[in-house]
Homo-oligomer: A and B are copies of this chain.
Amino acid sequence: MRVFIAGIDGYLGWPLAQYLTARGHDVAGVDTLFRRQWVEEVGSHSAIPVFSIEERLAAFCERYGKDLLFRQGDLLDYPFLRDFLAEFRPDALVHLGEMPSAPYSMIDQDHAAFTQHNNVIGSLNLLWAMREVCPQAHLVKLGTMGEYGTPNLDIPEGFFEVEYRGRKDYLPFPRQAGSFYHWSKVHDSNNTMFACKIWGLRATDIMQGVVFGTQIDEMGDDPRLRSRLDFDQCFGTAINRFCCQAVIDHPLTLYGRGGQTRGFLPMRDSMQCLTLAVENPPEAGEYRVFNQFEECYNVEELANMVQEVGQSIGLDVEIHHYENPRQEMEEHYFNPDRQHLIDLGYQPTHDVKAEMRIMLQDLIPHKARILEKHGILIPDIRWDGTRHRSEIIDEQVAPIEVG
């Protein structure tokens, strides 16, 4: 299949280009290279060195025996996008080309407006371009499990049957996102659902859990083929950040009680799932939603696992609770479905600790790079619109009750 990846230089886009190519697909992609700038803007860098796009593309050609068709450009530039799609004629488009950080979107008015403009209009342009030049193609759109928030109900995959005052309907499941970034993804989901309805486009909207991991097997030993791995408060997600902290003997930074439960999946599972979606398109006009994660954990459980794995390889890992800079429930019901991908053959890895061990071993050689930026490990972007660094609050936190 011919697969177009928006955001091909990113944490998931770069490995996905390799994973799909290794399976015989023809891949092309765009990227603004903005992720590199955003991480620099918030005072950090990737723990694992990121090579220039030219070096990446050269390594790609060496390993996979063919060129990757890459163009630097923006989904906000509609003629550029439309013309590239018209030329490449993709069978599938994987849309990873959005600003992906909740805290970044909460910094101030400017960052909130940038996030929603970039994500919503970029995604809207992709829908219009598909309608115009490749209406039969399949859009695999990356949403997030964070679109749902933490309702006191089971979370179905996108839709549910509702009975209300004696009548029934099958409706979109209400979204209760927790940041302007997460809301931008809800806005995208709504626009995508509508485009499928009126234009007969086909789309899979992936409500993905938090991805962790430093590698997939396809990358081999070439450092130019490695993905980035961020550990700052904006782009460093829970397990990735914990592993980087463990490597430099910095306490793991749990926000609040640490009872926040989320779906997680290793990078290799994300690649497997996205490929399953790409290779099994829906019917024309169908908008389907996949909840994509391997297992649900609360953040304290994950910190404890990183501690245990770290200690087993000789690291000295402490855990501290910090004031939660976000506004979120720190203990709540969370029970999302994830049957659609299982039905397509998804085989969850089911070994989070093995993945953490690989990550720690990959990160130890880059300890100096992480240490160089240790000053940014304590979060200071608050959901109330102010900025100040979170203090340790261990003594105020009672253990979470089990059962």
Contact = CB atoms under 8 A, between A and B. Distances in A.
A53 B165 CA distance: 49
Contact of A121 (B116, B172, B186, B191): B116
A187 B120 contact: yes
A174 B177 contact: no
Given A131-B385, A177-B194, A121 B125 contact: no
Contact of A174 (B152, B165, B174, B178): B174
B164 A180 contact: no
B113 A78 contact: yes
B120 A116 contact: yes
A191 B198 contact: no
A172 to B, nearest CB: 5
B164 A383 contact: no
B180 A172 contact: no
A122 to B, nearest CB: 10
A124 interface: yes
A312 interface: no
Interface residues of A, number: 52
A183 B190 contact: yes
Contact of A153 (B120, B162, B176, B190): B162
B113 A125 contact: yes
A173 interface: yes
Contacts of A117: 117, 120-121
B172 A183 contact: no
B160 A164 contact: yes
A333 interface: yes
A120 B183 CA distance: 11
Contacts of A124: 109, 112-113, 116, 180
Contact of A197 (B109, B160, B163, B327): B327
A167 interface: yes
A183 B175 contact: no
7 contacts: A113-B121, A128-B385, A131-B385, A156-B164, A162-B174, A172-B176, A180-B191
